[in-house]
Structure 1
Amino acid sequence: MKIGLFIPCYMNELYPQACMATLKVLENLNLNVSYPMQQTCCGQPMANSGCAKDVKELAYHFVNTFKDFDYIVAPSGSCVAMVKEHYAEFFDDNSDYEKVKTSIYEICEFLHDIIKVDSFNVSFPYKVGVHNSCHGHRELKLASCSELHLPCYSKLKALLAKVDDIEIVELDRDDECCGFGGTFAVTEDAISAAMGKDRIADHIRHNAEVMTGADMSCLMHMEGLINKEKQPLKVMHITQILAGERI
């Protein structure tokens, strides 16, 4: 299979180690991965701010960039959800978009549902708390939603369980929002910070050493709060754990 690696713009600039870990995980599985150099932002920040004209231009650029790949894989649930769920209004029965829409996967979804990994052959001897970001959780169905009272599952935890020596801690609130929400963190900064502090407190209360998740944007928000308060908690994208990195 021919895989196109989509790296979100903010991760490319601020979290290159998580981007490289994503590539490493895929290459460790002997997959054929390419990184299209012409890729850019998916348009999610513009969509959150109501700039539809800018989003349309970026949407067409994204589709033209990735339309020839068998699969498109990205380390960001919110960016994948943007392409799958929010591009349709800009395309009218466009076969290229329909192909991209059905070919794009958040990396945990891809590893769990498509590749069905048995083992990552890495060790991570730490207590880990999993933060389920809203887009991945409720739009991509990476885990069950507590409000629906359905059988519990978590694709992130299922993948982490294949890592040696890890201890996944159980939190009080598995699917509570961290408060980031893109521009929400700017327009409603006090509420956003309070929600983030609640998520951090849940992890610390259960003695987690590491907070992980599938959206670096949410983790970035909480990492800022953790650093400001000098909290004893490390933040890592899930691909960094699956790639065998240590804290």
Structure 2
Amino acid sequence: MYITDQEKAAFVKSVEGVEWKKELVHKKKERLKKYLEYWRNDPQWLVSRLQMNWQTKHSKVFLKGGNFSHSEGTAPVPTVRYSGTRDWATDYVRPKLEDVQPYLDDSRGLFLEHKKTGEMEWVHPSKSGFIIDKTNEQIMDIVADAAFMYWLTREEEYAAFAAPVFFTYMEGMYYRDAPIDLENSNQQNISGLATFEVIHEGIVVSLVTTYDFLYNYFKSNNKNLETSVAVFQKWGDQIIKKGIPDNNWNLFQARFLTYIGLV
């Protein structure tokens, strides 16, 4: 959604008269209701379900080709966990947010349900497909909707709900390095900051959207935005530097860079 503060009055008026815009806003508002209720009862409900190195605070990520190997190092804050593998296929179910264990950071890996047996198992991240990054994407998509609703309504509850999740993620990415492929394979040339391919960094869209719609709220509440700006710069640099030059990857990369360029 591309909109400016100067166009807000016209947009609000159009929401009242254009059915698809009215439905868009309605769906976002309805989607947020249950998450806001969870948050009212427990302010840590959503942020605690981010996939982070909550206890270890690892600052470095190591891959073995297209698979996550391990992480190490120490940061001053919890850091963002890296995706499990370049291959989306997995034998395990991505849990609903309600079923995600809060603040999970265990040396045994992830605790997931096997698709065939229905049994819960400890799983190394490399066997989990996209579960880690897609969980974070889902959370940040919710946060982006809340940011939009704050911008539209100026109801501060939306901003208070969204801001801690945004800053927890961004600070966690600020202190975490881009991955290193221990096999020095072609994977080293295509890795993003959150996923195994720079063309899969979809969470950038939600992060930029959140930053943009909450910018005035951040400024009025004296939030330090230097870390967030640095993360967007680092992400943009990674997307520009990595990738495959002789196919259509540049089109996907350009989309993410367009969002980053907005902030």
Same fold by TM-score greater than 0.5: no
Q: TM-score, normalised by structure 2?
A: 0.30
Task: Give the greater-gyration-radius structure (CA).
Answer: 2
Q: TM-score, normalised by structure 1?
A: 0.32
